[in-house]
Amino acid sequence: MNMTPLEFWLFTAALGIGTFLIRFSFLGFLGGRTLPEWATRHLKYVGVAVLPALVTPMLLWPQATGGEIDPIRLIAALAAFLVGWRISVVGAIFAGMGTLWILQALL
């Protein structure tokens, strides 16, 4: 699809405004207010939902191995899962990264 420079910049500006409005809808309108208890309870699960969504494609179809499943990545994902299940999301990130790097260095 060929776009003129004007169309490109209008499209880029529209995307920027849209992204700003999405973020502002939470920060600008709710920034100074206390959220209801049910909303706060549901927001606790955002990190737990986002991390698997980011990791799964890299685990099942890693570009580094040409799309082949890598046992090292599976072990690192298991380590991240176990630490995340028992400790925290941040701990899961460090456990998964650390396991991946150590196993790649050793093997």
pLDDT digits (tens, 9 = 90+) for 44-60: 888 778 878 887 888 88
Of 69, 68, 79, 86, nearest in space to 102 by CA: 79
Q: Tokens at residue 33, please?
A: 């207010």
Of 41, 77, 40, nearest in space to 57 by CA: 77
Q: Which residue has the tokens 């980011």?
A: 54
Q: Tokens at residue 80, please?
A: 């991240």
pLDDT score for 19? 94
The low-confidence residues of the chain, meaning pLDDT below 70, are none
Calpha distance 59→50 (Å, rounded): 15
pLDDT score for 54? 84
Residues across the chain: 107
Give the chain's count of helices (H) and strands (E). 5, 0
The answer to whether 83 and 65 are in contact (CB under 8 A) is no
Which SS3 state, helix, strand or coil, does residue 70 take? coil
